Amino acid sequence: MSKFAQDPTDDICVATIRALAADVVGKANSGHPGAPMGMAPAAHVLFSRFFNANPKNSKWFNRDRFVLSNGHACALQYILLHLLGYKLSMDDLKQFRQIDSLTPGHPEAGHTDGIEVTTGPLGQGFANGVGLGIAQAHLSATFNKEGFNLIDNYTYVFTGDGCMMEGVASEAASLAGHLQLGNLIYFYDDNHISIDGDTAVAFTENVGQRFLSYGWQVLHVDDGDRDLEGIYNAIVEAQKEKNKPTLIRLRTTIGYGSKLQGTHGVHGSPLKADDIQALKTKFGLPADKTFYVPEDTYKVYAAIAARGAALDKKWDALLASYGQKYPKEHAELTRRIAGKLTDGWEKSLPVYKSSDAAQASRKLSEIVLTAITPILPELMGGSADLTSSNLTRTKAMVDFQPESTGLGTYKGTYIRFGVREHGMGAIANGMHAYGGIIPFVATFMNFVSYAAGAVRLSALSKHQVIWVATHDSIGLGEDGPTHQPIETAAHFRAMPNIDFWRPADGNETSAAYYVALTRKHTPSILSLSRQNLPNLEESTIERAAKGGYVVLEEQGEELTIVSAGSEVSIALEAAVQLRSEGVKVRVVSLPCWSIFDLQPEEYRLSVLRSGAPILAVEALSTFGWQKYSHEQFGMFGWGASGPYKKVYEKFGLTGSNIAAVSKKVVAFYKQKGGEVVSPLVKAL
Amino acid sequence: MSKFAQDPTDDICVATIRALAADVVGKANSGHPGAPMGMAPAAHVLFSRFFNANPKNSKWFNRDRFVLSNGHACALQYILLHLLGYKLSMDDLKQFRQIDSLTPGHPEAGHTDGIEVTTGPLGQGFANGVGLGIAQAHLSATFNKEGFNLIDNYTYVFTGDGCMMEGVASEAASLAGHLQLGNLIYFYDDNHISIDGDTAVAFTENVGQRFLSYGWQVLHVDDGDRDLEGIYNAIVEAQKEKNKPTLIRLRTTIGYGSKLQGTHGVHGSPLKADDIQALKTKFGLPADKTFYVPEDTYKVYAAIAARGAALDKKWDALLASYGQKYPKEHAELTRRIAGKLTDGWEKSLPVYKSSDAAQASRKLSEIVLTAITPILPELMGGSADLTSSNLTRTKAMVDFQPESTGLGTYKGTYIRFGVREHGMGAIANGMHAYGGIIPFVATFMNFVSYAAGAVRLSALSKHQVIWVATHDSIGLGEDGPTHQPIETAAHFRAMPNIDFWRPADGNETSAAYYVALTRKHTPSILSLSRQNLPNLEESTIERAAKGGYVVLEEQGEELTIVSAGSEVSIALEAAVQLRSEGVKVRVVSLPCWSIFDLQPEEYRLSVLRSGAPILAVEALSTFGWQKYSHEQFGMFGWGASGPYKKVYEKFGLTGSNIAAVSKKVVAFYKQKGGEVVSPLVKAL
Ligand SMILES: [Ca+2]
Ligand SMILES: [Ca+2]
């Protein structure tokens, strides 16, 4: 396999892909024909000569991974999936960008068979690829044995100028170089065109030199439009380099074959009908046929598929014989591939009594990780250079590092992400997409915002990524308003399919981990305090796992205070004072809104019941609390720098001030008169 | 000034800064002593030999700008400001990180005299510096004349490993190289330490080579701890290079002088008392004195201040004589420095009748920009490679580019940011911080999230940055859920001090620009549609400028529908149908919540009045609408790829479905009985 042999069908295969791309985008009258047409030769060489996957079993664990980071070019990916025989018909191609089709405007993992990761938001796929590479390196180091190369796939990534400009890709590239991920082979579609026209207007850096500085191998193919042999040789070269990721810079012509080739005109608009006809003629295809695939092309791709199916079968046999020789490892690997947690793991979750010492929830999180990571080795992750603040590295953990650094091994599960929050989030998505791993990542709550683009894709693509987000309010104190989240919780509480937890104590922290680990298709953010929190009388893992529950009950109440996280104990302080003054008050803890929303209506209405006003209290923006309360008290602007107790005082977030605010609320609703109905009672 | 002359006071000045840094952090018992101690020599050489500023007039327009991108090292900056005679006393230094002090945990622009930009969130200051450089290059090209180098300052930036790892800095660095900003001089504090310990754990790239690839000049000072002459020569060299930004890599020892120097132990924790005493002795300072400044040090810094004051005075004279020779340019420059808009500019804002053709609000935005940019040349900005989609480049605009590219000039006001949203947002903050410029930036609404870290600092630091955020809902159609914002509006509506606008038509778009341009201390996001929107009967600039108003009035209503942006016209369609069925309905448009909240209570209660239920409708997450409505209908999950009308249909966001939903709401509240009180009627 080390010398390129031109096949008589190569040209027609490449032509087919190019013409199909023009047809697919043309029929939709929407989309991006240029990049698919330009990248067709690289795609054909890669898939025909190198790529190992079984289209009839798209989840085969040791398959090569393909990522189209320039996801707008997805016509290319859909065409390849169709030709290879994945569950994507010619009719599906004709439904490109139509409602409820399998061929949406950008590739969506979980939606279309064979799509590994969701791409389109630029730079994400690039970083996902690094996550796929980390997962492969870790799992092969952990499970492969002499004679049993069970896990040895490559990750191939196509990327364009847009991805190359994004900071998230820069972050991931730098880390991939540091980690010496030889299993990564990236194709940079260097076509000199982006949406604003020639890349000369904004992007004149030396990309190759930059990647060399990151520690990558950089190869060049000067005629990516026609030099199949050059592409082939570059991939061979890339595979040979075991200790560096490889970037293959392909100089290509966007929209190759079109009258407008090489211009911005073919980037994001369909080609004209006569242009499509002319290019088909130029490529030796019938000009009058649309969505036409020559028999030879189907044959070539069927053979690729057959090769993949045979590899899959061979791998099954290898796995079976591995099971005979290494039954324990086999059981563990298959458990992890199946995404099943170790039986009884939840018994290790720490449980607290109210007499236990107050601790910061970041510390409580560390105690959970210390308890469960030995039982759930699939928990692999780290921090964006805040390990000693996030408390994410347990004593038993080993760093995930190349052996040559002397700092760890690929068997290690703790990743030093560096100050690269966005890259970290996107890498975690890739790690999860690989399988066998539940990634956790950590930074200050405020800097999860840096990674918002990646968090959104965790949620959209159902990646079970766990964010350990410490220093989650003005309670972080001296670092001041630049570091104190205000709007951050509202942002993630408003996002679909993500659980945002703000635990109030030890049992609630255990509950947050319990739910985060059992929700296989939902990412979670654990928003944790820097300051110590007392353990509540009424908290249990079971109760907190409902997302909301009563922490102080009272019949005939005049007020319910609802709160979350570090302010629950302040609400309880207020309640003690109010009771001493004869005011009847209940307190509810609502650590996770999305989980509370999943509870039966009857339960929810018993927690946030009608009959008395509900006051929400949190040391964050009050935005969104109107859904669960009649009145809100919280942060109405930015925080302040100072010792945390003084900061809480400054903003009135103390037991005595909340008691005063509460009395105002009680008086207001008494004066207003009429029934006070729970905000949960609604028409819609 | 081209040869270094060692001064006998240099060593004591550097020692003073180092010892003060230890004292400041020690007294606060919180903060970062290591970087200030390591960077003291560079700071002393820079300020004593090169830096032009007038501490008694910290806003002198042609001052050199200093940015501490590693803002956690702010003890250094506060000490320099104190020594130079800015409004920062020794008592202020003793109040480091205390509540309501002038010396918060990270430097805040607008809070402390002499701080140019807020830093601390890593990478931001780095990118702010590029914005300061762009502003200088543009204003000098625009206003300088032969013999009148009115604007010729440098921007000096200190940056550490953390900033260097952040993608936002990578994006800005690449653009700065492309733009050939010779006015930028960056000092990279290469001390091999970050929070996780030795940078060898995560950051082993070749930083110098990377910056060469961006087109920077890269210089090295191997002994940044002691080699004052080396530092001096590097700055001279940097100033000589007119067509490249310069990175000076200073190899330093973090916490130089401490027993723990060179280790992570001095990064983020105070030094021990005995360690501080020992280092004072080592540096020739009295060990028993804290917060001690030798007379010589004060003298040296007073001389620097006097030099700056003289330069300021000289500049005033130059400006006055410029005014005599170039009265028109002088008037324009002083107007822009004062931040005053051109008289009568608002008369150019487009006004629409309901009979005018429906247009996309992104197009309406282009019409506004076309009308006002000739009158307000301080509007300078561009798009993150989506110019043809965001419609931000008017026909008259010229690109801001180095002449050598042949693509524009530094006089140009249109910036090709490349696909670098986060860098773009942070650069805009720097441009605004410079003065004389109102920056606008553009991308798809969904990708403003990539820049969340910078947007937050616009709001915190009161930078009037205008985001043109197009494609703002499922109405973008075929690009699908990866590009369709759901949670994005909630995120920015929850953020303090930012106006999030979602205009419904032409007059509302003009109103959004009107308010955004007149709110000098608040950034704005203009969330704009891809699809056409009809002009409303009742909209005017004046009414929309209140943030909310009635677009369809009715007495004795059974329902008020409140909406924003592209869904207002759908709400009106529903109203027409409801009226035809005899249901009495009003409709309210709420294009900007934060502006509506500023209106008198009486007005707000007249718009969202008691008496009937209020139903909110928006093609976004309903999160947050509970503040203004009893019931909410919107997106309860992700969007979909398809032609936009089909997508709206799929999610029930059509006139007929909203009419059906409305009837359900009306029936529910009739059955429920009792008074329906406006959600704005509250105790708090
Ligand atoms: Ca390109
Ligand atoms: Ca450092």
CB contact set of B287 (below 8 Å; sequence gap of 6+):
B277, B278, B280, B281
**Distance (Å, rounded) from C-alpha A114 to C-alpha B298?**
69
**Distance (Å, rounded) from C-alpha A209 to C-alpha A585?**
66
Q: Which chain B residue has the Cα nearest residue A383?
A: B196
Angle between helices B74-84 and B10-28 (to 10 degrees): 120
Which chain A residues are Cβ-neighbours of B481 within 8 angstroms?
104, 108, 460
Q: How far is B329 from chain A (nearest CA, A)?
A: 29
Q: What pLDDT does residue B306 have?
A: 98
**Whether B105 and A478 lie within 8 Å, measured CB to CB:** yes
**Radius of gyration of chain A, Cα coordinates, nearest whole angstrom:** 28
Residue A425: closest CA among A117, A681, A204: A117
Contact A82, A89 (CB under 8 A): yes
Which chain B residues are Cβ-neighbours of A122 within 8 angstroms?
419
Percent of chain A with pLDDT over 70: 100
Q: How far is B519 from chain A (nearest CA, A)?
A: 17
Q: Which domains does chain A have, with CATH numbers?
A: 9-311 (3.40.50.970), 345-527 (3.40.50.970), 546-672 (3.40.50.920)
**Distance (Å, rounded) from C-alpha B638 to C-alpha B621?**
9
How many Å is the maximal CA-CA distance in chain B? 91
Q: How far is B343 from chain A (nearest CA, A)?
A: 33
**Distance (Å, rounded) from C-alpha B617 to C-alpha A664?**
32
Phi, then psi, of A39 in degrees rounded to 5: -95, 0
**Distance (Å, rounded) from C-alpha A648 to C-alpha A444?**
19
Residue A587: closest CA among A622, A565, A616: A616
**Whether A486 and B495 lie within 8 Å, measured CB to CB:** yes
Binding-site annotation, residues of B for substrate = 32, 267, 362, 389, 471, 479, 483, 530
CB contact set of A89 (below 8 Å; sequence gap of 6+):
A82
CA angle (A25, A30, A35) in 5-degree steps:
55
Q: Which chain A residue has the Cα nearest residue B265?
A: A388
**What does the DSSP 8-state code read for residue A54?**
-
Structure tokens at A436: 């066998």
**Whether A202 and B486 lie within 8 Å, measured CB to CB:** no
Q: Minimum-distance ligand to the CA of A252?
A: 1
CA B582 to chain centre: 50
Contact A232, B448 (CB under 8 A): no
Structure tokens at B53: 């500023």
Half-sphere exposure of B23 (CA within 13 A, CB side): 25
Rounded to a whole number, what is the distance in angstroms from the first to the last CA of chain B? Answer: 63
Give the distance (Å) from ligand 2 centre to CA of residue B39. Answer: 11
Rounded to a whole number, what is the distance in angstroms from the first to the last CA of chain A? Answer: 63
**Whether B385 and A162 lie within 8 Å, measured CB to CB:** yes
Phi, then psi, of A399 in degrees rounded to 5: -70, 140
**Whether B675 and A679 lie within 8 Å, measured CB to CB:** no
Give the number of other CB atoms < 10 A from CB of residue A398. Answer: 14
Contact A436, A377 (CB under 8 A): no
Q: How far is A671 from chain B (nearest CA, A)?
A: 10
Which among B169, B215, B631 is the nearest to A684, CB-wise?
B631
Question: With bands split at pLDDT 50, 70 and 90, how would you rate the model's confidence at A1?
Answer: low
Which among A104, A196, A495 is the nearest to B416, CB-wise?
A196
Q: What is the pTM of this model?
A: 0.98
Contact A46, A299 (CB under 8 A): no
**Whether B483 and A642 lie within 8 Å, measured CB to CB:** no
Which chain B residues are Cβ-neighbours of A120 within 8 angstroms?
479-480, 482-483
**Distance (Å, rounded) from C-alpha A482 to C-alpha A503?**
23
Looking at the DSSP bridge assignments, the partners of residue A416 are: A383
Which among B167, B627, B642 is the nearest to A626, CB-wise?
B627
Give the distance (Å) from ligand 1 centre to CA of residue B400. Answer: 21
List pLDDT tens digits, range A371-392: 999 999 999 999 999 999 999 9
Q: What pLDDT does residue B543 have?
A: 98
Dihedral angle of Cα B260, B264, B268, B273, to the nearest 10 degrees: -10
**Chain B window 601-620: which residues touch A at a Cβ cutoff of 8 Å?**
613
Segment A607-612 mean pLDDT: 98
Q: What pLDDT does residue B2 have?
A: 78
Beta strands B549-552; B217-221: pairing state = unpaired
Q: Which chain B residue has the Cα nearest residue A649?
A: B99
Give the distance (Å) from ligand 1 centre to CA of residue B395. Answer: 25
Question: With bands split at pLDDT 50, 70 and 90, how would you rate the model's confidence at A550?
Answer: very high
- Judge whether A111 is annotated as a binding position: no
Q: Which residue in this structure is represented by tokens 């004389």?
A: B436
Q: What pLDDT does residue A2 have?
A: 79
- E-assigned strand segments in A445-576: 466-470, 499-501, 524-527, 532-533, 549-552, 559-563
Give the number of other CB atoms < 10 A from CB of residue B339. Answer: 15
List pLDDT tens digits, range A247-296: 999 999 999 999 999 999 999 999 999 999 999 999 999 999 999 999 99
**Distance (Å, rounded) from C-alpha B544 to C-alpha B504?**
9
Structure tokens at A32: 């991006």
**Distance (Å, rounded) from C-alpha A304 to C-alpha A20?**
19
**Whether B683 and A665 lie within 8 Å, measured CB to CB:** yes
- Three-state DSSP class for A292? coil
Beta strands A532-533; A359-360: pairing state = antiparallel
Q: What pLDDT does residue B1 have?
A: 54
Structure tokens at A534: 């007392």
Contact B527, B469 (CB under 8 A): yes
Contact A547, A562 (CB under 8 A): no
- Residues of A acting as catalytic residues: 421
Q: How far is A25 from chain B (nearest CA, A)?
A: 11
List pLDDT tens digits, range A39-92: 999 999 999 999 999 999 999 999 999 999 999 999 999 999 999 999 999 999
Which among B106, B175, B490 is the nearest to A202, CB-wise?
B175
- Three-state DSSP class for A158? strand
Contact B463, B433 (CB under 8 A): yes
**Distance (Å, rounded) from C-alpha A322 to C-alpha B669?**
66
Which among A104, A200, A631 is the nearest to B407, CB-wise?
A200
**Distance (Å, rounded) from C-alpha B452 to C-alpha B454?**
5
Q: Which residues of B14-24 are buried (b: 16+ CB within 10 A; e: fewer)?
A: bbbbbbbbbbb
Q: What parts of chain B have a pLDDT lower than 50?
A: none
Percent of chain B with pLDDT over 70: 100
A201 part of contact set with chain B, CB < 8 Å: yes
Q: Report the 3 state secondary structure along A20-52.
A: HHHHHHHHHCCCCCHHHHHHHHHHHHHHHHHCC
Which chain B residues are Cβ-neighbours of A165 within 8 angstroms?
171, 174, 385, 418-420
**Distance (Å, rounded) from C-alpha A90 to C-alpha A79?**
9
Q: What is the mean pLDDT of chain A?
A: 97
**Distance (Å, rounded) from C-alpha A437 to C-alpha A131?**
11
Long-range contacts of B517-520 (CB under 8 A, 24+ apart): B517/B341, B517/B345, B517/B372, B517/B376, B517/B438, B517/B466, B518/B341, B519/B464, B520/B339, B520/B464
Q: Is the pLDDT of residue A149 over 60?
A: yes
Give the distance (Å) from ligand 2 centre to CA of residue B194. Answer: 5
Interface test with A, best of B419, B441, B627 (most A CBs within 10 A): B419
Q: Minimum-distance ligand to the CA of A418?
A: 2
